[in-house]
Amino acid sequence: MEIKITKTQSPKTMPAEDTLGFGKFFTDHMFIMDFDRQIGWHNARIVPFGYISIHPASTVLHYGAEIFEGLKAYRTEKGDIQLFRPMENIKRMNNSANRMCLPEIDENDFLQALTTFVDVERDFVPHSFGTSLYLRPYLFGNDESLGVHTVQRATFIIIASPSGSYYKEGINPVKIMIESQDVRAVKGGTGEAKCGGNYAASNRAGERASQKGYSQVLWLDGVHRKYIEEVGAMNVMFKIDGEIVTPALNGSILPGITRKSCIEVLKDMGYKVSERLLSVDELVEALENGKLEEAWGTGTAAVVSPIGRFCYQDKEYDVNGGKIGDVAKKLYDTLTGIQWGKVEDKYNWIYKI
Ligand SMILES: *Cc1c(COP(=O)(O)O)cnc(C)c1O
């Protein structure tokens, strides 16, 4: 695929690394490609970062046809720039596209777009451990008509945001509200797809939890309101009586790449990992009889986010005295070690740019 590169005439300077935060500051360029049913994907280009213009009737604005991905470019101590399992993101984005009737992208073209774009923005990959260049590929239906039908036109964009360390103040376990009113997804719905609409629908529960002093919600399944699915926008894992338990991918759970990587690392470390149904009753029982040893969320942004407290039906339960546990710590150290090039990548997960 040919990518036309137009460099900016007004380059930015990178803010100080300790002021970056998440997703606030963007690089100098963006990757864009257009789709049309007649000609397929075309006009791949890297252009100066800026506003995009879309028709007021654009499909995405009315019917929410939008999917996205999130991954990071890491800088090692030697100065190499690398990605973590990028093909997993590419395959997942195509699965999301398939679910939402949006056009898929050739895997090699997608990888070329990512790597060419990161190469252009190399200088925006921050240097300190824990910081990264966050990459946000997204794809949306862009027909200029209000008719409800399969999209004829679509747009694919990649933007990048130099981001600070998620744990600037150290890894502090979070407080989680178990949600019994709203649901995030149901089987047959869009829970498995990484689509913007899932996030819009999750906001109300998140808002309620936040008003009560909780940082995320733990989602239960949409049919029985009983089985644990995910935590906020992360997958979730528990250590119950020595065994690692995580909800099985059942069609309404987002198949996280961090989740998948954690399972491989845990099995390698000799832990028993069960992907199965886990009911909130079993969780509460384990909390009450002291068998819940650890709980944590997994996702690209935080890698591992330990859970220090749960609230369910107005009762509060502490996990591991509100402190990070050994397994969560080991997972965090192993995955971040591989990502930032401090630990040998025996799994072949790293893709150098
Ligand atoms: C992106 C996402 C995750 C985590 O996936 P990773 O590939 O590990 O970053 C989990 N749940 C939801 C709802 C997500 O959108």
Which neighbouring-strand residues pair with 40?
A: 36
Residue of 34, 131, 145 lying closest to 75 (CA atoms): 131
Give pLDDT tens digits along the chain (353 positions): 999 999 999 999 999 999 999 999 999 999 999 999 999 999 999 999 999 999 999 999 999 999 999 999 999 999 999 999 999 999 999 999 999 999 999 999 999 999 999 999 999 999 999 999 999 999 999 999 998 888 999 999 999 999 998 888 788 899 999 999 999 999 999 999 999 999 999 999 999 999 999 999 999 999 999 999 999 999 999 999 999 999 999 999 999 999 999 999 999 999 999 999 999 999 999 999 999 999 999 999 999 999 999 999 999 999 999 999 999 999 999 999 999 999 999 999 999 99
Give yes or no for a contact between 266 and 335, defined as CB atoms under 8 angstroms apart. no
Encoding tokens for residue 11?
Answer: 């380059």
Site to probe by mutation for ligand 1, drawn from 190, 250, 300, 339 as the one with most ligand atoms within 8 Å of Cβ, is 300
Query: Ligand 1 centroid to 284 CA: how many Å?
Result: 25
Q: Which ligand 1 atom minimizes the distance to the CA of 71?
A: 9
Any ligand 1 atom below 6 A from CB of 66: no
Return d(Cα 312, Cα 318) in angstroms, integer. 11
Any ligand 1 atom below 6 A from CB of 235: yes
Return d(Cα 20, Cα 176) in angstroms, integer. 26
β strands within the chain, DSSP E: 4-5, 29-36, 40-48, 66-68, 71-75, 81-84, 132-141, 153-163, 174-178, 216-220, 228-231, 235-240, 243-247, 273-276, 292-299, 303-312, 315-318, 350-352
Query: Ligand 1 centroid to 308 CA: how many Å?
Result: 20
Query: Ligand 1 centroid to 231 CA: how many Å?
Result: 10
Total residue length of the chain: 353
Any ligand 1 atom below 6 A from CB of 233: yes
Return d(Cα 45, Cα 32) in angstroms, integer. 5
Sole residue written with tokens 């027909």 = 143
Query: Ligand 1 centroid to 144 CA: how many Å?
Result: 31
Q: Which ligand 1 atom minimizes the distance to the CA of 89?
A: 7
pTM: 0.96
Q: Which ligand 1 atom minimizes the distance to the CA of 194?
A: 15
Return d(Cα 314, Cα 333) in angstroms, integer. 34
